[in-house]
Amino acid sequence: MALLSSGLGVAIGALTQRIQAVIAISINVALYLFFLAGGTGVLAFEPHWLQNIAALVPLTYGNHALQMAVFYSSADQLGRDSAILSFSALAALALGILAMRKGIARG
């Protein structure tokens, strides 16, 4: 999850190139993703349409892996969670690298 966040942060920073804009965008994105990932409640009790949206958020799978390890001492679906987080982190890092290259080429 840290690599995913780092890649997205680098991409946002390279594209906007303004500290205030990066702070505002990052805080809003982080809050929305936290709530969509089930950080404040159990996704199973949420409406079905919200569960479908949460399935598209990679942090949902990190949250699931953490809950299974801490609360249930289980590795249930750890492979799926790890694969989705790894793929998402690689995609975010690639996006960050591309944004940095464009910023360097412009600058």
End-to-end CA distance of the chain: 30
Sign of the Cα pseudo-torsion (43, 47, 51, 53, in order)? negative
pLDDT exceeds 70 at position 107: no
Q: Please give the pLDDT value at position 69.
A: 93
The answer to whether 74 and 84 are in contact (CB under 8 A) is no
pLDDT exceeds 80 at position 73: yes
pLDDT exceeds 90 at position 79: yes
List pLDDT tens digits, range 35-53: 999 888 888 899 999 999 9
Report domain extents, the chain.
Answer: 2-106
